[in-house]
Amino acid sequence: MTSSDLFPLSAEHEMIRQTARDFAQKEIAPIAAEFDESGEFPSRTVKKMGEMGFMGIEVPEEYGGAGMDTLAYVLALEEICKADAAHGTVMSVNNSLFCYGILKYGTEAHKQKYVRAIASGEEIGAYSLTEPMSGSDAGTMRSRAVRDGDSYILNGRKSWVTSAPVAKYIVLFTMTAPEKKQKGITAFIIDTDKPGFSRGKKEPKLGIRASATSEILFEDYRVPVENRLGEEGEGFKIAMGVLDAGRIGIASQALGIAEAAYEASLSYATDREAFGAKIGEFQGISFKLADMKTRIEAARLLVYNAAMAKERSKSSGERFTLEASIAKLFASETAMFVAHAAVQIHGGMGYSKELPVERYFRDAKITEIYEGTSEIQRLVIARMETGLR
Residues that bind ligand CAA (CB under 6 A): 93, 127, 129-130, 136, 138-139, 160-162, 182, 236-237, 240-241, 243-244, 319, 321, 370-372, 376, 379-380
Burial 298-316 (b: 16+ CB within 10 A, else e): ebbebbbbbbbbbbebeee
As a whole number of angstroms, the distance between CA 64 and CA 60 comes to: 7
As a whole number of angstroms, the distance between CA 239 and CA 335 comes to: 25
As a whole number of angstroms, the distance between CA 68 and CA 71 comes to: 8
Contact 314, 307 (CB under 8 A): no
- Give the nearest distance from C-beta 134 to ligand CAA in angstroms: 9
Nearer to ligand CAA, 120 or 367 (CB): 367
- Give the nearest distance from C-beta 331 to ligand CAA in angstroms: 15
Helix (H, G, I), strand (E, B) or coil at 183: helix
Of 79, 179, 371, 375, which is the active-site residue? 371
Nearer to ligand CAA, 245 or 341 (CB): 245
User: Any residues with CB less than 8 A from the CB of 8 and at least 6 apart, and which?
Assistant: none
Nearer to ligand CAA, 205 or 300 (CB): 205
As a whole number of angstroms, the distance between CA 155 and CA 144 comes to: 5
Contact 157, 88 (CB under 8 A): no
Rounded to 5 degrees, φ, ψ at 287 are: -70, -30
- Give the nearest distance from C-beta 72 to ligand CAA in angstroms: 22
Distance in Å from the first CA to the final CA of the chain: 43
Q: Count each helix (H run) and each strand (E run) in the chain, helices first.
A: 14, 10
Is 62 an active-site residue? no
| Amino acid occupying residue 94 | N
As a whole number of angstroms, the distance between CA 92 and CA 307 comes to: 13
Nearer to ligand CAA, 39 or 139 (CB): 139
As a whole number of angstroms, the distance between CA 312 and CA 305 comes to: 11
Nearer to ligand CAA, 81 or 380 (CB): 380
Nearer to ligand CAA, 83 or 376 (CB): 376
As a whole number of angstroms, the distance between CA 120 and CA 50 comes to: 6
- Give the nearest distance from C-beta 143 to ligand CAA in angstroms: 14
Tell me which residues are annotated as active site.
Answer: 371
